[in-house]
Amino acid sequence: MRTLITVAGRRWPVEEDFQTGKDAFGLDHSQVRTYPALLRHLVLTMAALAVCAVTAARARTTSGSTMPLPISPNDVPPADPGLIALTVAEVKRLVNLLTHRWHDLEHHLRWHIWRRRHQARARWFHHRTRLNRRLNRRCVTART
70-121, pLDDT tens digit by residue? 888 888 888 888 888 888 888 888 888 888 777 888 888 899 899 989 998 9
Phi-psi region of 26 (alpha: psi -120 to 50; beta: other; left: phi over 0): left
What is the pTM for the complete model shown? 0.66
Distance, CA of 93 to CA of 116 (rounded, Å) = 12
